[in-house]
Amino acid sequence: MARPLSRVRLLLVSVVAVFTSAAVSAQVVVSCPLSGTGDQVDRGFYVQNYAGSSLGTVQLTYFTDGTAGTYTISLTARVGAYDGPILGTQTMTANLPAGATTHTFDFGGVPVTPGSTLAFTQVAVSAPGIAFYDVGPCNFGPCTSCPNVFETEDTTPPLSTFRRNSVGLTITQGGATAAIPMLDRRTAAILAASLAVVALLVLRRTV
């Protein structure tokens, strides 16, 4: 008598796991290609009309002035301006070679109101040389390669002075607080089959 109930519980746990997996999966919200050229990390950048409901990760690419060594760089995310409310600060410590290297800052899915402006500032906490970050494909002035992504001359509030319309980056939303994304066909099919089996076992249990 207990076996069908155990199966029901097992399937219910599986269904919950599917939903949980969907809820924490990362989704790319902003993507701007790399260019191999950069500016020093004291220049800020911001994203207008952010389409996500949370801030998951920010991926940036760094290179140096040729001085290899251990670099510590912090990235702070704020809402609305360079002196706006802080969403979080993440720090990387890495052995940077003379060439480029990519690092992902994980903000853990902190909630964000869709349509917000997210402003980012960086600090070279410790650096044996000069650290640069990839600024994307646009030269000085506007371009359409990276809509809503802007680099600025520095980090003077509220949003400094426009420098270029790109930064080489990828931003995702995700984490436990993120909204559940649309399920793909395969996941939806698995979920539907699981629910059907659960319903069948419940009916057999109650007959």
**Which residues sit opposite 60 in a β-bridge?**
103, 169
Higher pLDDT, 146 or 180: 146
**pTM confidence score:** 0.73
What are the residues whose beta carbons fall under 8 Å from the beta carbon of 169, sequence distance 6 or more?
Answer: 30, 31, 32, 45, 58, 59, 60, 134, 136, 149
CATH number for the domain formed by residue range(s) 27-173: 2.60.120
pLDDT, one tens digit per residue, over 7-57 is 444 344 344 444 444 444 579 999 999 999 999 999 999 999 999 999 999
